[in-house]
Amino acid sequence: MDIIANYGFELVLLAGLFGFFMAWGIGANDVANAMGTSVGSKALTIKQAILIAMVFEFAGAYLAGGEVTSTIRKGIIDAAYFVDTPELLVFGMVASLLAAGIWLLVASYLGWPVSTTHSIVGAIVGFAAVGVSADAVTWSKVGGIVGSWVITPLISGIFAYMIFMSAQKFIFNTNDPLTNAKRYVPVYMALAGFILSLVTIKKGLKHIGIHFSTSEAMLLSIAIAVVVGVLGIVAIKRLKVDPAADKKMHYASVCLLYTSPSPRD
């Protein structure tokens, strides 16, 4: 306790530096995960992706980061084991930040697949189990986290497959892909707007003191989805294509709907 009292500012400064170092590693990995498909499909340029990531990565951390922080802070280890030696908890958390940051840097440099969540969870479990006791780790919570690493990609993969196959069936594998794209793409846009809005309203806004009931959140998300869908219809109508063009040209025009914010022929 004397160490914390005497060197509290230095410890906070050190934690901030290590946290910044880890955030740099996160930017090198998680932003690439989020923006890789958009840049790869030429829907966004690298400059646009960086600007969008600057805004929305910060907004996501600010609005929804509290849930993750709460789990990392007190869900993985039992704080009761550190009541008599709180400085050990401080040192362990700071060391975990540094260890996770170093691992992200090494893995990124070598081009290895790496997860920020895996890194920080593993670091905390390691310092608690080795530095204190294996009983200090809340293994049931850790098991739930590890389970989510399997279940979440599985569910995401299923939904991605369903969306992809629906686009194939209703747009690409039809006699008039361009007309069907103009009809259905706004629906996909509205659906994306609804999901993102609902998550933000229910999970994020409460961290800044704004609370909505489930029904209010649903209605507001539907309204936002409608606006997004209408904007999509307006933007897509700007696409000018010769109806007499062959089907290959129509396919190219459909691709423009997915890769250009304001598609034009």
Work out whether the CA dihedral 173, 176, 181, 184 comes out positive or negative: negative
**Which residues, at least 6 apart from 122, have a Cβ–Cβ distance to it below 8 Å?**
100
What pLDDT is attached to residue 251?
Answer: 63
Q: Which of 80-89, 96-105, 219-228, 244-253 has the lowest mean pLDDT?
A: 244-253
> Token match 């923006």: residue?
35
Residue 68 vs residues 7, 76, 86, 123: alpha-carbon distances, Å: 28, 11, 22, 15
Helices and strands of the chain, counted as H and E runs: 8, 0
- Give CB contacts under 8 A, 24+ apart, made by 65-71: 66/207, 67/203, 68/117, 71/141, 71/145
The predicted pLDDT at position 242 comes to 58
Mean pLDDT, to the nearest integer, of 236-255? 64
**Beta-bridge partners for 77:** 137
Report field, pTM of the whole predicted structure over 0.75: no
pLDDT at residue 247 greater than cutoff 60: no
Paired tokens of 13: 């400064």
Question: What pLDDT digit, counting tens, does each position of 139-157 carry?
Answer: 888 888 888 888 988 999 9
* Both tokens assigned to 30: 């998680």
If we measure between CA atoms, which residue out of 217, 192, 216, 191 comes closest to residue 203?
Answer: 217
Sequence spans of domains, the chain: 2-137, 174-259
Q: What is the mean pLDDT of residues 123-135?
A: 87
Enumerate the β-bridge partners of residue 137: 77
**pLDDT over 50 (residue 263):** no
Residue predicted with more confidence, 162 or 133: 162
Q: Tell me the longest C-alpha to C-alpha distance in the chain.
A: 81
Q: What is the pLDDT of residue 145?
A: 84
CB 247, CB 177: distance < 8 Å: yes
